[in-house]
Amino acid sequence: MIRILSSLLSLLLLCGQVNRELPDINDRFFSSFLIDHWNTSKGLPSNSLMDIYQTSDSFIWITSFNGLIKFDGVNFTVFNKNNLPNLATNGFRHIFEDHNKNIWFGTVGAGILRFKDNHFHLFTPESDQFTARKAIVDDQDNTIWIATNNHGVFNLVDSVYKKVEWPEFEGVIINDIAECHSKVIWFATEGHGLSAYKDGKFYVFKDKLMSNEIKTLAISPSNNIWVGTINGLSKIYNSKITNYPQFRNVEINAIFVEDDRYLWMAAKQGLYIFDTKTNRHVSIKEFQGINITGLTRIIQDREGSYWITSESMGLLRLRRGKFMNFTKLDGLSTDRINTVLEYDKSTYLIGTDDGKIQQVKNDRVSPFDLKNEFPDVRIKQIMKDRSGDLWISSDAGLIHKRGAYEKLYSTVDGFPTNQIRFQYEDSRGWKWIGTRNGGVVRLKSNGEMTIFNMEHGLSSNFIFSAIEDRQGRILITTRDGGINRIDLEDKITIFYGLEGMVGNSIFNAYQDYDDNIFLCSNAGLMRFRDEKFKVLTAENGLPLESIFDI
């Protein structure tokens, strides 16, 4: 018997639970996420995956048309006709674990497969009653419900398939089944809207949803029925239907409700996350170079990670990292970053490989205004001196910025080259500017400029770094030239090829509180103290011997 809409919706009022607060969605939502990707090259039998489920023993099960897959986090185990002799197909669709911890798998044309006590048992239909199992659930009375393509709904009773007799299901594809806490069972149909079963009676609802072609259902801990359709999202709550036009034309294949607030929606067009409290959403079609479209299912595991199956990209996992990432998706001009400076407590300056300086303030990326522009020129370093002035090194020269004042130092001003690698401020406020092929430039506070290069006694013109030691001397590290030390009288002492040195290309240097100077090279870490060197390599416990910075 078909009842009116109000009768159907009154069933919804029986589901309920209190919401729990979560942070608002914003455009930084994905910034702290990492992604893992598995495909056929990493052990999957197919890149086209149908469903995914984490069972109570923490294993991940995945279905495909090339077999059933069990994943322990490291290795995939595939079950198919080769190792399940009674199986007539390699095609699997739905996965479900019942209240008794039996795991059920819907096959394509071969019945229902049950996994219990580490053994498989196949429940084969008597005839061609149905060809594909779209969804399986057990209700609170431990009855197994099975949805099919075109053949309606069946119960599995005492190992026998029993058809649920209702005319509305004849010739109808049932895409999903879900049960409310009040023992209302909901059926998502393809083209025939939403149906429900309660106390031996059926109800049908075909109007006012975004579409009658329903792909998936999700019942929240509160009294919400979330309906994913071929044309977007609808909600039924407290006898009221709400449609969400922002998701029009989005084909939603699966919905996961997180803590009764966030909807994670796996869609043909990508991944959508909807904050039902603020009515805001974010979506991605590509993440960290991986295509995220054609999604078929999404779940959250017990560790809080999100597992996503797709129709062509295999298996994806999104997990929250401890770091917040800023990329082109957040407004950076490029993902190739050379330098970061903490400008003040809430602002960071970013120097990029394409000649841009951008600022991150309160987690927002925006341009940083400079009079000088360097299109496609690398920004190598940004430094803030003791007076608050900015010094910016680039492949087009050195910029000194003080408020609105801005000056570009280049070969026009007497610099030996425009390729500036870094700048360093010593205890006197003097600036030491390292170049790629012109040695070191010293700028005193009064503007006096001095050049130190191979013509003046340096061992190399390619400068990697500079630091000041406790005696006020400047140590210059070079490529292929070892270390150059410039004392207070500008006398240069070269340390090159000495005992204890394991290479003459020194990337960076650091002095600790005990006056040890540590030197980074591609052959290990060196300690320089009392004019002597000691090398630290893998034999001393270093995991790698190529050390760039410290």
78 bridge partner residues: 69
Reported as a single tens digit per residue, the pLDDT across 23-82 is: 568 777 888 889 999 999 999 999 999 999 999 999 999 999 999 999 999 999 999 999
pLDDT at 130: 55
DSSP classification of residue 6: H
Whole-number mean pLDDT of the chain?
88
Q: List Cβ neighbours of 54 (8 Å cut-off, separation of 6 or more).
A: 60, 61, 299, 301, 302, 307
pLDDT at 236: 84
Above 80 in pLDDT, residue 257?
yes
Reported as a single tens digit per residue, the pLDDT across 68-121 is: 999 999 999 999 999 998 888 999 999 999 888 999 998 887 888 999 999 999
Q: Which two tokens stand for residue 438?
A: 């012109």
Reported as a single tens digit per residue, the pLDDT across 404-436 is: 999 999 999 999 999 999 999 999 999 999 999
Q: How far apart are CA 93 and CA 88, in angstroms?
A: 14
**Poorest-confidence range of 35-49, 263-277, 328-342?**
328-342
CB 58 within 8 A of CB 98: no
Average pLDDT on 374-397 reads 93
pLDDT at 20: 37
Residue with tokens 């897959």: 69
Residue with tokens 């400008």: 343
DSSP classification of residue 3: P
Average pLDDT on 213-233 reads 94
Above 60 in pLDDT, residue 271?
yes
Report the sign of the C-alpha dihedral through residues 165, 166, 167, 169, in that order. negative
pLDDT at 1: 34
Q: How far apart are CA 376 and CA 374, in angstroms?
A: 6
Q: How far apart are CA 418 and CA 377, in angstroms?
A: 11
Average pLDDT on 285-307 reads 95
pLDDT at 374: 79
Q: Which two tokens stand for residue 301?
A: 């595991």
Q: How far apart are CA 144 and CA 121, in angstroms?
A: 15
User: Domain 331-540 in CATH: superfamily?
Assistant: YVTN repeat-like/Quinoprotein amine dehydrogenase (2.130.10.10)
Neighbours of 189 (CB within 10 A): 21
What DSSP assignment string belongs to 393-415? Answer: EETTEEEEEETTEEEEE-GGGT-
Above 80 in pLDDT, residue 7?
no
Above 90 in pLDDT, residue 508?
yes
Q: What's the maximum distance between 2 C-alpha atoms anywhere in the chain? A: 102
**Poorest-confidence range of 181-185, 187-191, 260-264?**
181-185
Q: How far apart are CA 189 and CA 192, in angstroms?
A: 5
CA angle 220, 221, 222 (to 5 degrees): 85
42: helix, coil or strand?
A: helix
Neighbours of 42 (CB within 10 A): 11
Average pLDDT on 324-331 reads 82
Above 80 in pLDDT, residue 358?
yes
Q: How far apart are CA 398 and CA 423, in angstroms?
A: 9
CA distances from 271 to 178, 298, 309, 382, 520 (A): 22, 9, 11, 37, 44
CA distances from 482 to 88, 464, 466 (A): 71, 10, 12
pLDDT at 524: 84
CB 222 within 8 A of CB 215: no
Reported as a single tens digit per residue, the pLDDT across 8-23 is: 433 344 443 333 345 5
Q: How far apart are CA 314 and CA 42, in angstroms?
A: 10
**Cα 463 to the center of its chain, rounded Å:** 37
In the chain, the N- to C-terminal Cα span, in Å, equals 76
Please give the share of the chain, as a percent, with pLDDT higher than 90: 62
Report residue 471: phi and psi, to 5°: -90, 5
Average pLDDT on 354-361 reads 92
pLDDT at 42: 96
CB 406 within 8 A of CB 397: no
Average pLDDT on 462-490 reads 96
Q: How far apart are CA 327 and CA 507, in angstroms?
A: 27
Residue with tokens 């000041």: 468
CB 274 within 8 A of CB 9: no
3-class DSSP string for 223-281? CEEEEEECCEEEEEECCEEEEEHHHCCCCEEEEEEECCCEEEEEECCEEEEEECCCCEE
Above 60 in pLDDT, residue 343?
yes
521 bridge partner residues: 506, 524
**Poorest-confidence range of 42-46, 128-132, 458-462, 475-479?**
128-132
Residue with tokens 């008597």: 126
**Poorest-confidence range of 93-97, 225-229, 247-251, 539-543?**
539-543
206: helix, coil or strand?
A: coil
Q: How far apart are CA 135 and CA 53, in angstroms?
A: 13
pTM: 0.67
What DSSP assignment string belongs to 489-541? Answer: T--EEEE-S-TT---S-EEEEEE-TTS-EEEEETTEEEEEETTEEEEE-GGGT
Q: How far apart are CA 440 and CA 454, in angstroms?
A: 10
Q: How far apart are CA 407 and CA 450, in angstroms?
A: 18
Q: How far apart are CA 19 and CA 305, in angstroms?
A: 21
Question: Residue 145's closest CA among 101, 102, 107, 178?
Answer: 178
Q: How far apart are CA 40 and CA 196, in angstroms?
A: 40
